[in-house]
Amino acid sequence: MAQLLQAAASVFCTTGYTAASTNAIAREAGVSPGTLYQFFPNKEAIAIELGDRLVHEMRETYGEALAPVEPGTSLEEAVGTAVDRFVDFGCRHPVFFALTHGPDIPGRIAEEHDALHATLLSRVEALLSSFAPDTPAADVARTAQVCLSTYKAGLELVLAHEGAERDAYVRELKHLLVRYLAPMVGEHAASRSVHPWIDTP
Amino acid sequence: MAQLLQAAASVFCTTGYTAASTNAIAREAGVSPGTLYQFFPNKEAIAIELGDRLVHEMRETYGEALAPVEPGTSLEEAVGTAVDRFVDFGCRHPVFFALTHGPDIPGRIAEEHDALHATLLSRVEALLSSFAPDTPAADVARTAQVCLSTYKAGLELVLAHEGAERDAYVRELKHLLVRYLAPMVGEHAASRSVHPWIDTP
Amino acid sequence: MAQLLQAAASVFCTTGYTAASTNAIAREAGVSPGTLYQFFPNKEAIAIELGDRLVHEMRETYGEALAPVEPGTSLEEAVGTAVDRFVDFGCRHPVFFALTHGPDIPGRIAEEHDALHATLLSRVEALLSSFAPDTPAADVARTAQVCLSTYKAGLELVLAHEGAERDAYVRELKHLLVRYLAPMVGEHAASRSVHPWIDTP
Amino acid sequence: MAQLLQAAASVFCTTGYTAASTNAIAREAGVSPGTLYQFFPNKEAIAIELGDRLVHEMRETYGEALAPVEPGTSLEEAVGTAVDRFVDFGCRHPVFFALTHGPDIPGRIAEEHDALHATLLSRVEALLSSFAPDTPAADVARTAQVCLSTYKAGLELVLAHEGAERDAYVRELKHLLVRYLAPMVGEHAASRSVHPWIDTP
DNA sequence: GATGAATGAGGATTCATTCAT
DNA sequence: TATGAATGAATCCTCATTCAT
């Protein structure tokens, strides 16, 4: 079954969900199509189970990565940790993006993913609030959304490169986020090593 | 034919390229399947024609949006214009993203898109170089990549909202980019209203 | 219309009846598909009209070629004339074979062709009877069938070659028929330049 | 699979290759269209497999039928044996002709068939040479071609009849060939029961 | 009369799913 | 339980035919 999920991950990665055939998955897993259907009622269920596991692991990853920071943690540190974890996760599970993007993925996964997104969102919001308690909730929510989107886009870029170049992109992604967030958290993080940012007046 | 392309755009948007059936496109266009095949030799050709038109329009859009800035233009202005154009384009052509993502889109489109990407990239690089002439080429290239990815991700976020909320996201996207780029262009844009950024020492 | 039939002949020749498309015929004729259907109710009708004309011309050709021979005509002369006409006809109308062979031609043509075949058969029978009046009718009929089949097969062989080689095959075809028929007509054609054949005793 | 090939043979026989639909073949075989495609990748492959088997069997048939004759074998015997085998083969495999004629049969089959034709041709040539060693090669080749064509045409005639009538046609076919060849082999077969033929002087 | 875009049933082929072994 | 042949609906695409202009 782990075998099957791994095969599915591999096939989804290379062909996408829609174009992936259950026969191809079974073949990749080295079992017969019939066997596949003794573990999963249909193709969608495979993607859902896969998604569930990813989401679960992601939740754990972020549970730690986005946990409320201890007082005194700098923005750089917080962002750095989160990005590193995110990158690590993305490297270990390239399927995640095959199941995340694309309008042709099963509804259940979309829901699952939305739920994950919402969770992450609230964590990021909490984090942001701890850094900038006075910011209106709507702004925090929006900023969190932007952060998540940026995360994902940046991660794809990171994964598209290797070695030193990958590391360079990781640094850029951190800069991108830190610089974006600095003004918001600036006043409440005067102890940081970055100059306060003067936003559009 | 415009009718068909529009229908195709609509169907590709909702189901993705792979899952889109030519019969569905024909139905959406209000014609019979046979009619569709008098204009396009096959499904791929529809996507390609659609992609060509989008790329063409995108090229024009960017030709103006990313044109070398006149001396004296601020980073904010340059980014603001580019983002506005990009957003406008995205609003008018939501298909663009359906044909851009996904591993199962026809090779021709991928090429076309890669070519477009390369073009945009070199324009952004030129723009960045004009703002920060002393930056090493490799860094400029990487920064341009990050900008483009951020553009795209931000645009999706923008398109997912409407009205005032959309405008707010547009502002955030501009901030995101401006803040990211400010340190790089900082020394050459001392006249700007942003403080120079002190990067990782 | 002659234009259309000619185009049809050409297309039938190259692709066969079944694989020939009415659009291809119309295109070959330089007219629109609609125009084609103002002359013929359907694809079959084209083949039928074509077949009719060929059969008509063939009938005339054979009317003369297989006409009752004047007394004193040798077998060689009779066969030689018939073969020459047949070959000439085949050279001018290569379609004939496209519409003659193959199990996928319309029933009407088959009938037409069968009628032609029957006509030719009775002429050949008459000819044979005039050469060998004492032969039983059943034998004459069978021999006539063999002659016709041999004719056709030989003709295809002839048409497959050109120039001197074609002429050589024409000669062989004549030999084939003359030698086959000689024993049957031998006794009644003692004046011929061939030795009588002593058949299976 | 034998079931499918048999069904295909039957359908090809009645409708010809082009007009034969895979659904019809599947239905004739009593299976679903999908099943057919688990054995053959496409319609052409069915014809090719069928053709291969026929060609293979034909080769064996002819390997024996056209083997170099032992010294002392008469022309009648040689022809008689070959025709009998050919007829037997044709009776058991009427498809052979459906896949042999027609301009729309798959290229692979045409090649296969051409190869077979060439093989048969060289065997017939060898046979003829053994009977008439002094005949120029070009003449032998031509005569062999005529023999093969006559074979095929005669066989179709034979297959079109049954019982005693079929036997009668078989005899006629043998006569046709023996009489055609007698003059050529005459001098070297003086011991035979046929009179030498005096050809065009 | 000529046109040619439109039609839609039909054919080749795929693939998610089932079930007898 | 595992298998893998069988299924058949659905897909892409063709082409004989029609009809508004």
Domain ranges within chain A, ordered by starting residue: 1-40, 47-189
- Which nt has its C1' nearest the CA of C36? E2
| Rounded distance between C-alpha atoms, residue B133 and residue B140, angstroms | 9
- Chain D CB contacts of C183 under 8 Å are 175, 179
Q: With a 7 Å cutoff on the CB, does C37 touch strand E? A: yes
pLDDT category at A142 given cuts 50, 70, 90 is very high
Q: Name chain D contacts of C109, Cβ cutoff 8 Å.
A: none
3-state SS class at A19: coil
Within 10 angstroms of residue C68's Cβ, the number of other Cβ atoms is 12
Instruction: Inspect the interface and report whether the beta carbons of A196 and B196 lie closer than 8 Å.
Output: no
d(CA A197, CA B184): 15
Return the residue of A nearest to B13 by Cα: A103
pLDDT mean over A86-99: 86
What percent of chain B has pLDDT above 70? 90
pLDDT for the residue numbered A187: 53
The predicted-structure confidence for B138-189, as pLDDT tens digits, reads as follows 999 999 999 999 999 999 899 999 999 999 999 999 999 999 999 988 654 4
Q: What's the half-sphere exposure (Cβ side, CA atoms, 13 Å) at D183?
A: 20
Between chains, do C198 and D195 touch, taking CB under 8 Å as contact? Answer: yes
What's the confidence (pLDDT) of residue D190? 39
pTM attached to this predicted model: 0.82
Nearest 10 degrees: Cα torsion C8, C10, C14, C20: -10
CATH 1.10.10.60 fits D1-40, yes or no: yes
DSSP label of D67? S
Eight-class DSSP state of D107? H
- What residues have CB less than 8 Å from C124, skipping those under 6 apart? C66, C144, C147, C148
- How close is the nearest chain A Cα to the Cα of B1, in Å? 25
Residue B129, CA distances (Å) to A41, A182, B124 in order:
56, 25, 8
At residue C82, the pLDDT reads 87
Domain D47-189 indexed as CATH 1.10.357.10 = yes
Q: What is the mean pLDDT of each run of 10 residues along chain D (201 residues)?
A: 91 90 94 93 92 87 73 86 89 87 78 88 89 91 95 91 94 95 70 37 38
pLDDT score, position B200: 36
Task: Give residue ranges of A with CB < 8 Å to any B CB.
Answer: 13-16, 18-19, 98, 101-104, 142-143, 145-146, 149-150, 152-154, 156-157, 165, 168-169, 172-173, 175-176, 179-180, 182-183, 193-201
B79 alpha-carbon distance from chain centroid: 13
Q: What percent helix, strand, coil does chain D show, rounded to 5?
A: 75, 0, 25
Burial of B123 (0-12, 13-18, 19+ CB in 10 A): buried
Report the CATH architecture of C48-189. Orthogonal Bundle (1.10)
CB contact under 8 A, C16 and D145: no
Residue A201 in this model has a pLDDT that exceeds 70: no
Lowest mean per-residue pLDDT among A122-136, B19-33, C115-129, D182-196: D182-196
How many angstroms separate the CA atoms of A11 and A24, rounded? 7
A19 CB neighbours in chain B (<8 A) are: 18, 103-104
Which carries the bigger pLDDT value, residue C126 or residue D188? C126
Per CA to C1' distance, which residue is closest to E10?
A: D21
**Residue type for A9, please?**
A
Quote the pLDDT of residue D161.
94
B187 burial type by CB count under 10 A (0-12 exposed, 13-18 middle, 19+ buried): exposed
Q: Which of A49-58, C46-55, D159-168 has the highest mean pLDDT?
A: D159-168
Show the 3-state SS of A66-81: CCCCCCCCCHHHHHHH
Q: What is the dihedral of CA B152, B157, B160, B163, to 10 degrees?
A: -110
Predicted pLDDT at A90: 87
Helix (H, G, I), strand (E, B) or coil at B198: coil
The DSSP string of D110-149 is HHHHHHHHHHHHHHHHHHHHHH-TTS-HHHHHHHHHHHHH
Q: Picking from A170-184, B38-52, C187-201, which range would have the lowest pLDDT averaged per residue?
A: C187-201
CB B102 within 8 A of CB B109: no
For residue A175, give the nearest of B15, B156, B180 by CB distance.
Answer: B180
The pLDDT of C72-80, averaged and rounded, is 88
What pLDDT, on the 0 to 100 scale, is given for residue C127? 87
CA distance C26 to C36: 6
Task: Tell me what pLDDT residue B192 has.
Answer: 38
Taking CB atoms and an 8 Å limit, are C179 and D175 in contact across chains?
no
User: Which conformational region is residue A31 in: left (phi greater than 0), alpha (psi within -120 to 50 degrees), or beta?
Assistant: beta
The answer, yes or no, to whether residue A98 has pLDDT greater than 90, is no
